[in-house]
Amino acid sequence: MLRDSARYSVNNVIMEGGERFALLIDKATGLPDPFTTRYSAVFLRSKGGSVNSMAKAMRAVALALEWAGTRGIDLTQRIDSGDLLTQEETTDLVNWLRLSRRKPTKAEKLTAQGVKPKRRAVDTRNSVPDIVDAETHYARVLDVRAYIAWRVELALHRIPIASGRYRDAAQKLADWKTMIAGQVRSGKLAKKYGLPPELRARFLEIVHPDCSENPFDPAHRYRNYALLLMYYELGLRRAEALVLKTGDLRFSGNQPSLHVHRRADDPDDPRPDEPLVKTAGRLLPVGQNLRQAVETWLIRHRADRTRYPGAKKTPYVFVAENGRPMALRTVNDLFIRIRDRFPEFPRNLSPHMLRHDWNDRFSDLCDAERQAQTTSPVAPDDRLTHAKEMALRNYLMGWKKHSERAATYTNRTTEVQAASLMLRLQERSANG
């Protein structure tokens, strides 16, 4: 997870009308950094990205500014002169951007101080990593490259285009962009998977409010259970559950459901780090277990004014202890708590992993349905073809109708099927 640097912090600013943008604050002065403020308010906002994407970009830039200050490099002077960074300096910057800025958990801090946590020792897999994953590192480098290129282009605008100095500076920028890009590789090749099948029942067991091993504060177990079960059963993105309003729930009648909406810059949302729905809105059916969990949370617990004061003043389903809408970081903390308490779970356990897991289970269900249809009479239009499966998956996940994103969520299923076919092919060879 990307955190603030030692010298800078990133604040999400809410403007009139609910629009948001990210602001970089110099902790030494308490004032916004002038260039990054202009970059965020003008350039990043013009790209139409979410405030969370803007904040991630600004945090990467903050790390680069911190690096320059540590190395005694005046970036403004370098940019104005057109000299930019040497290859050695660029390599040093790229390595700096690889370092992790994740804050250690309470248990990790105790372990580092030689104090044994009360419940269970922290597994070494969950200790603070030295470096970030390849995907995060790649994104940081691209964000820093974009910012420095923007700064250089501002300087270039002050130089007559016909002059030799302009051509020289433009060429130096192009060369530097190629050089820094060549020092990092994309992390998008890394495959992502859902939960190992043997841990699915275990996950549902430990998050249940009545489980003696439940790792959460008893006061919030019903809220956390409804939220985590929603991620597991519906494959929602992290933000999608947090923007749900009570009016989105349609639990009356024989077909209970909930409506996922896109609500960018919602004036009802007071959170600076506004959760955003990246995918399309959709209506999702809700099973009996999930319905009961959500209703129990809303009726018996969220409505408790002593436990969640002010909750009735907000329309959002999931609220924090103070009754305000739950923050994204609180969801992260829930999964960190599970990982710390139960080392058997993967260190990247998250809503996104549960989203992948939903897709694994959906693939298994579709395969079983197709197998059943081979032995029972089914009209051709009702058969579950692979094309129809993709269309159904795209709708349920909120992707565009002909999106190919489903392929990235079916890695485990693809590998199992490929292995099975490979073995059958080898058996044929062995049997002549």
Q: By CB neighbour count within 10 A (0-12 exposed, 13-18 middle, 19+ buried), where does 217 fall?
A: exposed
CA–CA distance, 222 with 210 (Å, rounded to integer): 9
Check residue 126 and give its pLDDT: 45
Check residue 129 and give its pLDDT: 46
DSSP 241-296: HHT-BGGGEE-SSSS-EEEE---TT-TT---SS-----S--EEEE--HHHHHHHHH
CA 329, 332, 334, 340 dihedral sign is negative
Check residue 124 and give its pLDDT: 43
Interval 288-344: pLDDT, tens: 999 999 999 999 999 999 999 989 999 999 999 999 999 999 999 999 999 999 999
CA–CA distance, 35 with 181 (Å, rounded to integer): 23
- Sort residue 114 into left (φ over 0), alpha (ψ -120 to 50) or beta: left
Q: How many CB atoms lie within 10 A of CB 421?
A: 10
Q: Please, which residues have CB within 8 angstroms of residue 109's CB and are 6 or more apart in sequence?
A: none
CA angle (275, 276, 279) in 5-degree steps: 145
Q: How do strand 257-260 and strand 282-285 relate by DSSP bridges?
A: antiparallel
Residue 186 has pLDDT above 80, yes or no: no
Q: By CB neighbour count within 10 A (0-12 exposed, 13-18 middle, 19+ buried), where does 395 fall?
A: middle
Query: What is the C-alpha R_g of the chain?
Result: 25
**Amino acid sitting at position 92:** D
Check residue 46 and give its pLDDT: 72
CA angle (87, 88, 93) in 5-degree steps: 95
Check residue 128 and give its pLDDT: 46
Q: Name the token pair of 325.
A: 């809408």
> Full-prediction pTM beyond 0.75?
no
Interval 48-68: pLDDT, tens: 667 778 888 999 999 999 999
Check residue 420 and give its pLDDT: 64
CA–CA distance, 419 with 432 (Å, rounded to integer): 20
Interval 10-49: pLDDT, tens: 887 776 666 777 888 888 888 888 888 888 888 887 776 6
- With tokens 């092919």, the residue in question is 425
Check residue 275 and give its pLDDT: 80
Residue 432 has pLDDT above 60, yes or no: no
Check residue 374 and give its pLDDT: 85
- With tokens 């058996």, the residue in question is 427
Residue 80 has pLDDT above 50, yes or no: yes
Residue 51 near residue 162, CB atoms below 8 Å: no
The average pLDDT across 346-360 equals 92
Q: Please, which residues have CB within 8 angstroms of residue 285's CB and are 6 or more apart in sequence?
A: 255, 256, 257
CA–CA distance, 423 with 431 (Å, rounded to integer): 12
For the chain, domains (ranges, CATH) are 8-181 (no CATH), 198-353 (1.10.443.10), 356-430 (no CATH)
- With tokens 């599970």, the residue in question is 338
Check residue 342 and give its pLDDT: 95
The average pLDDT across 375-391 equals 84
**Nearest CA-CA partner of 192 in 351, 342, 72:** 351
Interval 97-140: pLDDT, tens: 998 876 555 554 555 555 665 554 444 444 444 788 888 899 99
CA–CA distance, 387 with 362 (Å, rounded to integer): 14
Check residue 1 and give its pLDDT: 37
Q: Which helix (H) or strand (E) holds 20?
A: strand 20-26
**Nearest CA-CA partner of 320 in 307, 336, 332, 338:** 307
